Amino acid sequence: MGNGFTSSESGKLTSLADYYDILGISCDSSSQEIKKSFRSRVKRIHPDVGKNGSDEGIKLLLTAYAVLSDPIKRKEYDRVRIVRPDEGFNYRDFLKERKEDPEILSKLIFHDLLFNQEEEALVLFEELFYTKNCALEDYMDREDFMDCSFLLAEEYENHREYVKAFELLKKITLFEFEKPYFRHFMEEVADRFKHITCTKMSKTLSTAEQMYYLREALKLNLSKKINDHLSRKINQLYGKLGKN
């Protein structure tokens, strides 16, 4: 079966049949068949595995799988495919039309983080968390919440909003302690904590505020090495306060 698809910079595909075609499945395929085909094709074209890999190819597979593996998205995709077969389907537009629903808004945030629309993702997260007073973890499965929160923390750090980054990292760390998901990747999370509290926060927070977040990080007991580093920083700040 040929690819039969083209794409624009917005990620909009020119033919609605493309999602099925990309995965090499029929329109009545089961969820297990969708997953099996997706995994097979990822292995075949992934740059680290196959010889014909490309970022664009992986992105198209991910988009097709994200829609067809979700019963709600697939139902809407199929509906639009029948009603407007020549207009194409833009998953992001579909989500934006329904973003008054917190669950849809959470999906849109994650989508934008994954598809290089980080600024929009932060605006949407602020709307969900601060305006609607909704918790992201209430509308996403645990794994998506963990990944999404880490990406949000990374963007807040890039924007020098270190307290918001800290709170997100703290939340996913507590989730990790309850049931491991990141596992070895938690070393990076711990290092991110250390870097934010011991270095980055000194650029935007008062000494007293820095000490508060250092103590909060210390309570998490991330590792002996990290704890020693945090404790030394606290002692340094105590000395600074004493001199003042």
Query: pLDDT tens for residues 168-190?
Result: 999 999 999 999 988 888 988 99
d(CA 154, CA 77): 32
Q: Are residues 175 and 239 in the same domain?
A: yes
In a domain, 136, yes or no: no
What is the residue-level pLDDT of the chain in tens, covering all 244 positions?
333 333 333 334 434 447 888 888 988 899 889 988 888 887 776 554 444 445 667 778 888 888 898 887 888 778 766 655 555 567 788 888 888 899 999 989 998 888 788 999 999 999 999 888 999 999 998 988 998 999 999 999 999 999 999 999 999 999 999 999 888 889 889 999 999 999 999 999 999 999 999 999 999 999 999 999 999 999 999 887 766 5
% of the chain at pLDDT higher than 70: 83
d(CA 52, CA 149): 32
Report H helices in the chain: 18-23, 31-45, 55-68, 71-83, 91-96, 102-114, 118-126, 142-158, 162-178, 186-198, 207-219, 224-243
Q: Are residues 69 and 151 in the same domain?
A: no
Q: Are residues 158 and 226 in the same domain?
A: yes
Domain CATH number, residue 186: 1.25.40
Q: Give Cα 112 distance to the centre of its chain.
A: 8
Task: Report pLDDT for 88.
Answer: 59
Task: Report pLDDT for 17.
Answer: 47
User: Which amino acid is present at 175?
Assistant: F
Task: Report pLDDT for 51.
Answer: 47
Q: Are residues 149 and 231 in the same domain?
A: yes
Task: Report pLDDT for 242.
Answer: 67
d(CA 45, CA 21): 15
Last residue of a domain, one of 55, 71, 94: 94
Task: Report pLDDT for 11.
Answer: 38
Q: Are residues 150 and 86 in the same domain?
A: no
Q: Are residues 62 and 148 in the same domain?
A: no
In a domain, 2, yes or no: no
- DSSP letter for 137, please: G
Q: Are residues 147 and 239 in the same domain?
A: yes
Last residue of a domain, one of 94, 120, 153: 94
Any idea what the Cα angle at residue 62 is, between residues 56 and 64, rounded to 5°?
Answer: 105
Query: Hey, what are 214's tokens?
Result: 């250092």
Domain CATH number, residue 38: 1.10.287.110
d(CA 155, CA 122): 8
In a domain, 71, yes or no: yes
Task: Report pLDDT for 243.
Answer: 61
User: Which amino acid is present at 59?
Assistant: K
In a domain, 130, yes or no: no
Residue 89 pairs with which residues in a beta bridge? Answer: 13
Q: Tell me which residue of 123, 133, 203 sits closest to 163, measured CA to CA.
A: 203
Task: Report pLDDT for 220.
Answer: 95
In a domain, 13, yes or no: no
Cβ neighbors of 204 (< 8 A, separation 6 or more) are 160, 162
Boundaries of domain holding 40: 18-94
d(CA 130, CA 114): 22
Query: Hey, what are 184's tokens?
Result: 């070895």
pTM of the shown model: 0.68
In a domain, 69, yes or no: yes
Last residue of a domain, one of 94, 126, 158: 94
Q: Are residues 154 and 223 in the same domain?
A: yes
Structural domain count, the chain? 2
Task: Report pLDDT for 127.
Answer: 92
